[in-house]
Amino acid sequence: MARLFAPEEETFRREVQEFLSTRLPADIRERMLTGARASREDKVRWSKILHSRGWGGYTWPTEFGGPGFTPVQRYIFEDVAAQAGAPEVVPFGQKMVAPVIMAFGNDTQKEFYLPRIASLEHYWCQGYSEPGSGSDLASLKTRAVRDGDDYVVSGQKAWTTEAQDADWIFCLVRTSNTGRKQDGITFLLIDMRTPGITVRPIITIDGAHEINEVWFEDVRVPVKNRIGEEGQGWTCAKYLLEKERLNFGGMGFCKREVARLKRLAAGVQRAGRPVLEDPLVKARLAAIEMRIIATDLTNLRFLRAAECGKTAGLPAPYLKILSSHLQQDIAELQMRTIGAQALAVRSVAPTNQRLELASEEATVAPTYCNLRKTTIYAGSNEIQRNIAAKNLLG
């Protein structure tokens, strides 16, 4: 059987495994492996551990303070970390706004923001979608008017993930209504402590506070916080979205949830036999595992091409479609497998926003509900298929 990784890559995998076994806090590991969500504190604590190892900006090149991992090493790190129960790093900082700052920011901006993103001193969120501007992002209406050395920002962002925890938000704002609508968009970095910003929670169907409305009422943002030139925001946005969609390629989360499915189902009896012996369940599980293997191989093909400076097909839209459907299908099979046990009692403690779960099984139904979003965010799968068709067919 052909080897997927070179000897030095296998050595790197073992290094990551050893690091995780000794440095990942046990309480965080347990929460993640049993289906709970990582809190802000969990993510900050883990990010500081990574930063102390020199892996705080593990996706970055050495010139910006990263370890200079190859694309395949980044894949290995994320795959091993997810299966071990490590929280995902906050993607809005490290994987989204940081590459934009690297590509379009000036030296002062790079020197100020990048170290603080790597250490998670600055916790970021994304200000793109609006109530009437989701898939058609170029129709956004949040307005920024130049006033001396500031922009005055007014408008609303919606579905803003983790805005309640964030220190900073990167925003697309409209600075002009002339010409193409894409030409009037500017990219701003905004301190969430600025007067005039209001965060209002949106409680989702799973009972969690993950997303928010963010309102801007005459918020003054220094012009020095603009990335690139005025009107260059759409270029920055497209660059960022490409990075965001590539984040879907890793299958570590899916492998972790399949392992959890098997563990949870081990104690479930149906019709006098373990549920995992049901031929229909076995067939669906085998199909999912084969899809994970196929997606892994596809992802590695793209990464190998990237290492050689080549482009292999349509990685961003393609991987986003494959991964998002896999996440949903695994959650659905978890629900079907453990049945009524997925409806265990749960409640939200009145003193905080954390979902308190009575048992591990009680995480299954909320996760199933939450993962309905994966085919919508980062550009809906319908949009991704349109992008793929346009590139393939012209």
What sign does the dihedral 338-339-344-347 (CA atoms) show? positive
Q: Which residue has the higher pLDDT, 44 or 342?
A: 44
Query: Which candidate, 295, 40, 14, places its Cα nearest to that of 162?
Result: 40
pLDDT at position 355: 47
DSSP 309-361: T---S-HHHHHHHHHHHHHHHHHHHHHHHHGGGGG--EEE-TTSSPEEESSGG
Predicted pLDDT of residue 351: 42
Phi-psi region for residue 148, left (φ > 0), alpha (ψ -120 to 50) or beta? Answer: left
Tokens encoding 264:
């949870």
Domain boundaries for CATH 1.20.140.10 within the chain: 248-393
Higher pLDDT, 2 or 307: 307
pLDDT reported for residue 42: 97
pLDDT of residue 350: 44
The whole-number pLDDT of residue 325 equals 94
Please provide the DSSP assignment of 121-168 as one string: SS-EEEE--BTTBSSSGGG---EEEEETTEEEEEEEE-S-TTTTT-SE
Class of domain 124-231: mainly beta
The CATH code belonging to domain 248-393 is 1.20.140.10
Q: Give yes or no for residue 116 having a pLDDT over 50.
A: yes
For residue 184, pLDDT over 70 is answered with yes
pLDDT of residue 345: 53
* Per-residue pLDDT, 55: 97
What is the mean pLDDT of the segment spanning 74-94?
95
Cβ-Cβ contacts under 8 Å for 255 (sequence gap 6 or more): 79, 82, 83, 292
What is the C-alpha separation between 391 and 373, in angstroms, rounded? 25
Compute the C-alpha angle 296/386/288, nearest 5°: 30
Question: Is residue 173 predicted with pLDDT exceeding 80?
Answer: yes
Side-chain-side CA neighbours of residue 133 (13 Å): 19
pLDDT of residue 92: 95
Task: Judge contact between 246 and 384, C-beta under 8 A.
Answer: no
325-353 pLDDT, tens digit per residue, is 999 999 999 999 988 887 755 555 444 44
Q: Which of 88, 244, 257, 360 is catalytic?
A: 244
Residue 244 falls in the annotated catalytic set: yes
Domain with CATH 2.40.110.10 in the chain: 124-231
